[in-house]
Amino acid sequence: MKKKYLLLLILFSILLSCKREGDNIFNQFTEVKVTLHQENEFNIGTYKDVAFGDSIYVDFTISSASKDMHQVWIFYNGAGAAALKIPLADGEKRSLRYVYKIKADKVGLTTFRIMAVDSEGVFMGDGYTSVTYNVVSDYAHLNNRVLYMPDSTAQSSACFIDLMEGKTYTYAEAKANAGKIDLGMYRTYKVEANGAITYSYNIYSLQASPIPFKAFDFTDLSGKGRATYFSGIQNNQASTFLNTLTSGTVIQNNAISRKTTNLSLNDLKVGSMFYFKTPDEKYGVVIVNALSGYDNNRYLNISIKRQN
């Protein structure tokens, strides 16, 4: 029995003696060094907040202590390939100074690395340095605001909205805050030849003349309400709203091209989108997310993007 235990102990000792430590990744790529220069206001170091549309300069020197570099790559986090590949001349293979210029055209954080590769495209190092810039948003995104069908009897439905804040108002509240109201919503219906009923969801500015929803009286606000103008309706625009209209500048440019000249719009559907311009020259865009025709829960669900 003692011999058995002794044999097990010897085998365990042999296994321990065969243990091999893995290579430390933080010691593998010390050949390459990256230095970021900040000699003017456009140059950024490892991090900077910038405004949308700003020019960004990344002034850097990348060097290799003893091995030739073949190319320098700019590689963004999450990308499948380098955004830029800089071939190196004979006099640049050990040290390169370069200014990488970027336009801040995407709101949010962006990070990239500056790396060297050899003649076979093998990673040599990036100096364990990354560059991050944060494009500060120039617009607000107000999600899922719900407007309910106006109730001409109790007048208690929130069927008006301030597009800048996303706050909804009843008829009485809208009259008391006419300077904040960008639009009101109502619904009409039509009986088709086959007896089916189709509904139309519509909006209007308080400066529309006449106010299309006759059950509400705004005559005492003539010339006093907020004059918000709308573009025409574009349908099936959910992807554009989400993926294309990603800055206040882009929203403004699209709104101007679509001509915001209407004080009312008719027949909104799910996926309908329209631009707007407020009296203080702020531009925005509205998308219809959902609508309901049930008599006990009639509503229009919208999302808004507007300039700060």
DSSP string, 212-280: S-TTS--GGGTTTS---EE---BSS-HHIIIII--SHHHHHHHHHHH---BSEEEEE-TT-EEEEE-TT
Q: Residue with structure tokens 């069908």? A: 149
Do 205 and 162 touch, CB atoms closer than 8 A? no
| 28-37, 72-81, 191-200: range with highest mean pLDDT | 72-81
Asked if omega into 210 is within 30° of 0 (cis), the reply is: yes
Mean pLDDT of 210-235: 85
Q: Going from the N-terminus, what domains does the chain have, and what CATH number goes with each?
A: 26-136 (2.60.40.10), 139-307 (no CATH)
pLDDT in tens, 135-179: 998 899 999 999 999 887 888 899 999 999 999 999 999 989 999
Do 251 and 285 touch, CB atoms closer than 8 A? yes
Q: Report the percentage of the chain scoring pLDDT > 90.
A: 67
- Write down the mean pLDDT value for the chain: 89
pLDDT in tens, 251-306: 999 999 999 999 999 999 999 999 999 999 999 999 999 998 665 568 999 999 99
| Nearest-angstrom CA–CA distance, 26 and 174 | 63
Res. 89: pLDDT tops 90: yes
pLDDT grade, residue 93 (50/70/90)?
very high
Longest CA–CA span in the chain (Å) reads 107
Res. 21: pLDDT tops 90: no
Mean pLDDT of 175-193: 91
Copy the structure tokens of residue 62. 């990348």
Do 59 and 37 touch, CB atoms closer than 8 A? yes
- pLDDT, residue 10, reads 57
- 139 has which bridge partners? 307
pLDDT grade, residue 19 (50/70/90)?
low
- pLDDT, residue 2, reads 54
pLDDT grade, residue 7 (50/70/90)?
low
pLDDT grade, residue 209 (50/70/90)?
confident
| Nearest-angstrom CA–CA distance, 93 and 264 | 65
